[in-house]
Amino acid sequence: SGADVSIARASPSGPEAHKHWLQSFVAFNLNITQAFYTHPKILVVGLNGPVIGLSAALVSFADFVYATPATFLLTPFSSLGLVAEGGASRALVQRLGVSKANEALIMSKRISAEELLHTGFVNKVFETGKGEDAEFRELVLREVDERLGEHLIGDSLTGIKALIRRPDMDAMDKQNSQEVFAGLERFMRGIPQEEFRKIASGEKRHKL
């Protein structure tokens, strides 16, 4: 969802509200989450900075994740009156481990690059500094070329990925649906809108 504080101003009320959130929040989150967890090819993500909210959840579906020392993960759903999104209640828990995932999801706690590496959420942290985006990209591409090069057979890679992911597919279908409709219920009650309003007005400072 991202911390879009304009939601507080743009949200309809009355009979139109349910239709609005179905067509926007539910449809978008359901579709993009499924697109990530059913992606058949090898998915590589490079994080050259913070990854927050829905984006942080979706990164959990990558096959390989690379980061910099400045990278951190933040899923501030509980701080914004939301619930888990983007399959985070399953995929992020599996990738991060239940203890750290509870900190990230329930406490809205920032998880550092060091912690992400220690838990296995990221495969490698490249020691690049601020403004060295091109260098980071080059290091990631070099790693991919070396580790996923022509010495490996392409359809073997995707075949192995399909076998790894297959046991979770039904569970992800169910969890994706559970998440979006739990989120819909929150929006219908106006809970996230009120938190976004507080942030927009300065009543509440979002703790990054």
The residues assigned a catalytic role are 85
Alpha helices in 22-153 (DSSP H): 27-37, 54-59, 93-96, 98-105, 113-119, 133-147
Residues 6+ apart with CB under 8 A from 71: 47, 48, 49, 50, 51, 113, 116, 122, 125
14 conformational bin, left if phi > 0, alpha if psi -120 to 50, beta if neither: left
